[in-house]
Amino acid sequence: MDSTEIILQALDSMILQFASLLPKLIVALLIWYVGKYLLGLALVFVKKIDLKKTQVDEEAMGMITTLVDIIGRVVLALVVLDYLGIGRTIIGALTQGVTFAIAIALGLAFGKALEDDARKVVESVKRLFKE
């Protein structure tokens, strides 16, 4: 085989793969735009909720709308990524990262909390070996 034939076959394969992926990308973009529109409607709905009787001020309503916006965007991004077939991998990686972060934080917290007790144990062991 000639090198130009190999290059043409590789380009043909790449174009075929891109052409098969293009409809999924278009549907993913459509899901994204419809989701953004629905999220905007949800935010308008949350802002129009009348909580005068519950003594909730404007700052709290701003925080609630910000929280709804952030959670909505994250869920929307995960839905789009799951449709594209890579959502499970990202969710697994995020879950592992959070788990490892919690484990490290707990280890550091217990290590710092028990620092004096550990020092006493080490000193008593040193005294035993010196005798």
The pLDDT, as a whole number, for residue 51 is 64
**Whether the Cβ atoms of residue 76 and residue 29 lie closer than 8 Å to each other:** no
Residue entry with tokens 């130009």: 4
Question: If we measure between CA atoms, which residue out of 33, 32, 39 comes closest to residue 78?
Answer: 32
Q: What is the pLDDT of residues 27-43, one digit of tens each?
A: 999 999 999 999 999 88
Confidence of residue 121 (pLDDT cuts 50, 70, 90): confident
**What is the per-residue pLDDT across 70-102, written as a single tens digit (0 to 9) for each?**
999 989 988 898 888 887 888 888 889 999 999
